[in-house]
Structure 1
Amino acid sequence: MINKVGKITVYVNDQEQAKDFWLNKMNFVLKFEQPIGPNAAWIEVGPSEDEFTTLVLYSKPLMEKQKPSKVSHPNILFSTTDIESAYEKMKQNGVEVEEMLKMPFGTMFTFKDQDGNEYILREDK
């Protein structure tokens, strides 16, 4: 049946600002980009060229016109093997990060993108 997570849609107010955030602040790579209308594009970014799973940076205003009930807050948890380094790098890149939480089940922190959407980064050991 299902063997991989392929794409995760994140609804963004401005696709160019979102692309800039993920490419320049989070060091992701542009995996695919194609216009889908006069003011929108299908944009996919990922943590590396080799990573299969991508984020689709989809136009929130376009989706609100197509299917308003589908627009919701993303709930995405990313993984890293060096949380301290990732935390410092994000801060240096101007990413809004919250306090690091050291829990019995892992260390993690919340960060926000250009639209204020929240994500979690957790250390995998």
Structure 2
Amino acid sequence: MINNISKITIYVENQEAAKEFWVNKLKFVIKFEQQIGPNMKWIEVAPSMDSQTTFIIYDKNLMKVQNPNMNVEHPSIILSTDDIDKAYSEMKNNSVEVGELMTMPYGRMFSFKDLDKNDYMLREDK
């Protein structure tokens, strides 16, 4: 059902400054960077190109506009699966509190909560 701890989203005030911090000061590499809207960029950094887990550097204020209920005061954890439909069905059948299955420009995903109501995302890796 879940294959990997895939991505951890770090919500920042300034994406470019945060990217420079991770790349220039901590010597991380940019694994992926793409414009995904007029005012939005998807940036992923990691210690090396071989790292499976990445940090997504995401604009805090844009996330507040997109999802006002999202807690952007701490990182978000994104897990990965290779079959999102099966994982969604299995979690629902196991009485896990799941959100809507969404299709975004960067993949299909849904949120879910643990027993303490902590939020996670599960994203399909293709």
Distance in 2, matches of 1:75 and 1:57, equals: 11
- Report sequence identity in percent: 59
Q: Counterpart of 1:73 in 2: which secondary structure? A: coil
How big is the shift at 1:75? 8.0
Distance in 1, matches of 2:74 and 2:55, equals: 14
Distance in 2, matches of 1:75 and 1:6, equals: 11
TM superposition outliers: structure 1 runs of 4+ over 2 Å? none
1:66-103 per-position Cα deviation (integer Å, ceiling 9, x unaligned) = 11221232389xxxxxxxxxxxxxxxxxxxxxxxxxxx
- The answer on 1:74 being equivalent to 2:75 is yes
1:45-83 per-position Cα deviation (integer Å, ceiling 9, x unaligned) = 00101001101101111101011221232389xxxxxxx
Q: Counterpart of 2:22 in 1: which secondary structure? A: helix
The structure whose RCO (Cα within 8 Å, separation 6+) is larger is 2
Segments of structure 1 that go 5 or more residues without pairing to the other structure are 77-125
Segments of structure 2 that go 5 or more residues without pairing to the other structure are 78-126
Query: Normalising to structure 2: TM-score of the pair?
Result: 0.56
Q: Counterpart of 1:24 in 2: which secondary structure? A: helix
Q: Residue in 2 aligned with 1:4? A: 4
- The answer on 1:35 being equivalent to 2:46 is no
Distance in 2, matches of 1:16 and 1:47, equals: 18
Distance in 2, matches of 1:3 and 1:40, equals: 28
Task: Kindly provide the amino acid, as one letter, of the partner of residue 60 in structure 1.
Answer: K
Query: Normalising to structure 1: TM-score of the pair?
Result: 0.56
